[in-house]
Amino acid sequence: MIRPGIAAMGLVTPIGTGKAAVSAALFAGTRAGLVPRDDLIPGRTVFVGAAAEAPPGLEPGPEPRNNRLMRLALDQIADAVEQAARRFGRDRVAVLAGTSTAGIAEGEAAFLVRRRTGAWPENFHYRQQETGGLGAFIARSLGLEGPAYTVATACSSSGKVFGSARRLLAANLCDAVVVGGADTLCRMTLGGFAALEAVSAGLSQPFSANRDGINIGEAAAAFLLTRDPAPVSLLGVGESSDAHHVSAPDPEGRGALAAMRAALDDAGLEPGDIGYINLHGTGTPLNDAMEGKAVAALFGPATPCSSTKGMTGHTLGAAGACEAAFLWLALHADSNPDGLLPPHLWDGAADPAIPPLALTVPGSRLAAGGDGRAAMLSNSFAFGGSNVALVLGRGDWS
């Protein structure tokens, strides 16, 4: 299987927009992007990860905020994508996007107008909240004519697009792929997680004995993948579908373990080759317990790891792409010349029921490899046991 180079990356997160701003915040560690909101769950104030204000839509009619956030990420890779389109042909550049909320927020706002006035607002159309709209939007925005579709597997959506993109390249159905994901805040998502009693009463505390749930966030990230070498490459993808329960993970982490092991096997690596793990780390009691067991079983207690959701909140369908972007920043010499690792932000109260993990602190660094290479892994686990683990690396892995 080929190892695509990740030639370009753009992102919008609660801790910043663009590589420079996000790098500075990510490696220092900040919770400034988590802000209190009282307009998302009736009668309750919750912390959420709020991203930058998105620009107005450029197409006729209003664009969902999901698309507008993605446009901010696409702007950061547009030159690289245009070069690929001219080199390969626009019909040879594919698009794969992941989302779960799409334009639900716009549907909510339109429904409130209809309830108040008895009529739908003139600028609302159902297609604004279609799940599959994100991939088509990206293709239109960049003038691409290759295969374009959207993956929606809840919180693993934009992690799974990397595997799909690599398969398209391997099958010679395209020569380059724009991949990514976007999700934005909406009342239905917050209400749903609140109904599951999974929303934290304050700031989320991943892997803490005091953890009580998640903070929901929003983000967008976009990448350009080609067969050409690049400073950061996609080395391996591992997917599993344990189908343990519609909303609860397998308590022993069997699906998570299978995905991570498959990613290592796919990359041709051993656990000791991984220098850092970006944990799924939602801050819910069940997720963190099972992931801790799975990570400890495969990697032991010494591999540095952290949950960046302590900074951004859980960005749902965008989480896989957002956290892959964090690996890209950590691996790329221009973004991270000092080899820093994202710190794990929490209250420091270790849960004795979770096996010990090497949770990073501010200033933690990637151990120097003898050959200058490094590999990192990121986990994304979703409802229904839809799991994916990605391995990214730098240097010559041919």
The count of structural domains within the chain is 1
Query: For tokens 């159309």, what's the residue?
Result: 125
Q: At 158, which amino acid appears?
A: S
Q: Give the list of residues 6+ apart from residue 269 with CB closer than 8 angstroms, or none.
A: 235, 236, 375, 391
Would the CA dihedral through 270, 276, 280, 285 be positive or negative?
A: positive
Strands of 184-292 (E only): list them: 216-217, 219-226, 232-241, 274-278
Written as tens digits, the pLDDT of the chain (398 aa) is 789 999 999 999 999 999 999 999 999 999 999 999 999 999 999 999 999 776 665 544 578 999 999 999 999 999 999 999 999 999 999 999 999 998 889 899 999 999 999 999 988 888 888 889 999 999 999 999 999 999 999 899 999 999 999 999 999 999 999 999 999 999 999 999 999 999 999 999 999 999 999 999 999 999 999 999 999 999 999 999 988 777 778 888 899 999 999 999 999 999 999 999 999 999 999 999 999 999 999 999 999 999 999 999 999 999 999 999 999 999 999 999 999 999 999 999 999 999 999 999 999 999 866 555 689 999 999 988 899 999 999 866 55
User: Do residues 213 and 281 make contact, with C-beta atoms less than 8 angstroms apart?
Assistant: no
**Residue range(s) defining the domain that contains residue 114:** 5-394
Query: Which amino acids are annotated catalytic?
Result: 155, 280, 314
CATH number at 169 reads 3.40.47.10
Dist CA 378 CA 59 (whole Å):
35
> Kindly report the CA angle at 65 between 63 and 70, in degrees rounded to 5?
95
